[in-house]
Structure 1
Amino acid sequence: MNTYKGKMKILALSGSLREKSYNKAALEALSLVAPEGVDVSVFDGIRDLPLFNPDLEDERVLPVAILKDALGVADGLVIASPEYAHGISGVLKNALDWLVSGEEFVGMPIMLINTSPRATHAQEALREVVVTMSGIIVERACFSIPLLGSSLDATGILNNAELHALLKLHLRTFCEGIQACRVSQSQPE
C-alpha cells in the first residue's frame, strides 16, 4: 500500500470485458467525480491477463506484472463485477487469482460496486474471495447503483444528479475508510 503523503491513488477493476459495460461505466464515472488529491485509475489491462497458472507465478508475465505494480502503488481498490451464473465473472476471478500469492492485495482497502442491485450472488462471492485474500472491505463505501437496463454510460451517470451524488458520497466514504486503514495499520501491536 502506498504510504507516502500526497495524492491518494485508487485502482479500479471492472469484471466485464463488454464494450458498453455498466461496471466499467460506473468506474469511469467514479474517476470523474474524484476530488482534487484523489486519483481513480480504471485498469484496462484485465483483458490481457493470461489464464492463471501457478507454474508461471515465479516468472515475470508482463500483463500480470503491470497489474501487480498498479496495485502495489494504490491506496485502495474498487471492484465492480457483473453476475454470471450466480458468481463473479471469470475474467475478474482470473485477475484475483493472479494476485493471491503477492503482498499487494494483503490489507488493501476494498470498495465494491454492484451495478445490478438484484444481482446479489456475485457480490457475496466477491466478498468471500476478497476476505479470503486478506483484503479489507470498507463496508460503508460499498453500494449498488441501479444501472441495469438504463443504457447509461459514464457521461449519462454523471448527468443524473442522484447517481452523481451517490458516486461522490461513496467515494468520499471510501477515502475516509482508506485513511482509517492507514491509521490502523500504522498502530503498533
Structure 2
Amino acid sequence: MQLLALNGSLRARSSNGAVLRSALALTDATSAVADLGALPHFNPDLDTEDAAPPAPVAALRRAVAEADAVLVVSPEYAHGVPGVLKNALDWLVGSAEFLDKPTAVLTASPSPAGGEYAHAQLRETLRMMSADVIADACRNLTAIAPKTDPATGTVTDPATLRDLRTALAALLTAAATRT
C-alpha cells in the first residue's frame, strides 16, 4: 500500500507537520511526503498540450498517480487553505490523478474552532477534482499545538493518536478495496 501525504504547511515545526509525522508513524503503509515548496506558481501557460509540465509538477502528478491513497494535512490560514497547498491542487485540477483516489483531509489548529474553514474548502475542492474523499478518514483537530512534543515533533495526546489511527484505518481500508 502506497500512501502519499500533502502537507499544507512549510514550517519545519508546525503542528500540522507533527500531525503528519504522527499519522505516518501509525501505519504500515509505504509513505512519501510530496515537496509542495518546490512547485512553481500555477500558470496554465506552462502546462499546455504542446509542452511538458515543469519537472516538480510532473513529479507531483506521478506521485499522486502512483499512490493508493492520499493524505492531505493542512493548517488554516486567514480562514482558508494555505497558498502552497492551493497551488499544488491547482496544478492537479486539470489532470486525472485524483480521479476516484481515496483521500483523507486532516486539519489542525491551536484555535478552538480548529481549521473548520480550510477543512470544508479542501474537502469541496478535492470532491470537485473527483477524489474519493473518505468521510470517516477526515478530521478537524482542534487545539492541537499544546498536544505535541517539541523535541520529537510528534503528537503526544493519546486521544488524538487514537483518532488519527482510526482515520488512517478508514483511508487504507477504502484504498485496499480498490486494489
Q: Structure 2-normalised TM-score?
A: 0.87
Of the three residues 9, 20, 45, the one matched with 1:55 is 45
Alignment CA distance shift 1:151-1:175 (3 Å): closer
The two structures, once aligned, show a CA RMSD in angstroms of 1.9
Q: Secondary structure at the match of 1:102?
A: coil
Q: 5 Å matches for 1:88-103?
A: 88-103=81-96
Structure 1 unaligned spans of 5+: 1-7, 184-189
Q: 5 Å matches for 1:1-189?
A: 8-35=1-28, 38-43=29-34, 45-58=35-48, 59-116=52-109, 118=113, 119-150=115-146, 152-153=148-149, 155=152, 157-180=154-177, 182=178
Structure 2 unaligned spans of 5+: none
Q: Secondary structure at the match of 1:80?
A: strand
Q: How big is each residue's C-alpha offset from its partner over 1:48-87, in whole Å with a ceiling of 9 and x where there is no partner?
A: 1000000111323111111111111101111111111211
How many equivalent pairs are there? 172
Q: Secondary structure at the match of 2:106?
A: strand
Q: Structure 1-normalised TM-score?
A: 0.83
Distance 1:145 1:41 in 2: 22
Q: Secondary structure at the match of 1:150?
A: helix
* Percent pairwise identity: 37
Distance 2:166 2:93 in 1: 30
Quote how far apart the aligned CAs of 1:114 are. 1.5
Q: How big is each residue's C-alpha offset from its partner over 1:112-142, in whole Å with a ceiling of 9 and x where there is no partner?
A: 1021261211111111211111111100111
Q: After the TM superposition, list the runs of 4 or more consecutive aligned residues in structure 1 that deviate by more than 4 angstroms.
A: none
Alignment CA distance shift 1:153-1:68 (3 Å): farther
